Amino acid sequence: MGELEDRRTAVSEARFESLLDTAADGVIVIDETGRMLVFNKICEQLFGYTSQEAIGQNVSLIMPPEFSVSHDRFMNNYHRTGERRIIGIGREVSGMHRDGTVFPLELSVGEAKTAEGRQYIGVLRDLRSRRAVEQRVSQLQAQVVHMTRLSAMDEMGAAMAHELNQPLTALLLYLQAVARQVRACHADAKPPSDKMLDVLDKAVLEAERASHIVQRMRQMVEKRDPERATVDLREVVNEALDLSEFVAQGATVTIRRVFGMTPIQVDADATQIQQIILNLLRNALEVAKESEERWVKVSIGSDDRSAFVSVTDSGPGFSEDVGKSLFRTFSTTKKSGMGLGLAISRAIAQNHGGDLMADPGGNGQGATFTLMLPMHHSDEAEEDTWG
């Protein structure tokens, strides 16, 4: 009887071992004191220790020093209070390789009550490859934003050239005027008059007007990494609208701004958000131009969790079919030409933890596009620990 029991135990242990070693994730079992009892093959690769080296050692061996101290504290705390900080929940933590490399891990912990006391089973997944993918995606997004910005520049080019023409024309004419007067004074051996200084001051103002236009253009085209900051969404949107009105000077579509009085704080890359707004606005103006009432309404609102920017046009709305395919990248019909821009805009919104939604309207209602972003919460202090 006892022999059979032993054999069964041996077989099930062997099965357990081979199961552990074929697992795609790292598996560690520790006892109540934090001593490692199991350290599988994947863990050997992850941390650079053989299982013989690791087993019997405290689990702090594979943690960055700043976490190993708190880990003991968290375990003691759990034993005393039974308060679960990670068991059954799982979270992202940092691990440390034998060579000192610190890397992100996803850790889930289970608990087993055994004859030898409580044991904890940790399943570990290396997050570095996922991180790399996320980073690549955000790089690509930055590139695409840069590209759309450049194509927006094409459209703006003519308008900008016209805008620069005016101050440059005025500037050159002022300078021609003052040069003539200076020459005339010189010929008559008279000192230059105050009037000439006035004209020179005006010339300086025109030169500044031209350089402001160039600065605004530059802000639009300069390529840079996404920069998150806590910003007032109303200011961000206002700037985009100002820019758009500036480009579309003389256009016959009215832009109505429906903003509240209180700041709406979000954590966002202001330029990327403005890209989205400009894109939505360009589409809406296109549609509104052909409509009878010719207006575009931009409203901003928020609830506890989210902030919203809605862009509605006075057009006829979309058919249901068009509405469905709106966001499909590259699948846009030539006629609307909006698919790519919207897909990118939505990707940017989602990268910010938000989303971009379309209400196709119809029946006398124009389409509404709503950008949703999470509100900024100042009391959010996530601890990145093993506890």
Partner 1 sequence: MYIIVEDDPSVADALESLLSGAGLPVRVFASAEEFIHSASPAPDDTMIVDLGLPGMSGGELVRHLEKAGATPKVIAISGKSSRTIARETEGLADVKILRKPPAADWLEAITA
Which residues here bind partner 1, judged by CB under 8 A? 161-162, 165-174, 176-178, 180-181, 199, 202, 205-206, 209, 250
CA distance 289 to 133: 41
The side-by-side arrangement of strands in the sheet containing 254-258 is 254-258, 295-302, 306-313, 368-374, 355-359
For the chain, give the number of residues.
387
Smallest separation (angstroms) from partner 1 to the CB of 276: 31
Nearer Cβ to partner 1, position 37 or 217? 217
Nearer Cβ to partner 1, position 251 or 322? 251
Smallest separation (angstroms) from partner 1 to the CB of 170: 4
Nearer Cβ to partner 1, position 101 or 169? 169
Nearer Cβ to partner 1, position 195 or 328? 195
Instruction: Determine contact, residues 217/195, Cβ cutoff 8 Å.
Output: no
Instruction: Determine contact, residues 86/105, Cβ cutoff 8 Å.
Output: no
Smallest separation (angstroms) from partner 1 to the CB of 199: 5
Q: Which residue has the tokens 């894109």?
A: 279
Nearer Cβ to partner 1, position 57 or 181? 181
Smallest separation (angstroms) from partner 1 to the CB of 178: 8
Smallest separation (angstroms) from partner 1 to the CB of 179: 9
Nearer Cβ to partner 1, position 184 or 258? 184
Smallest separation (angstroms) from partner 1 to the CB of 241: 21
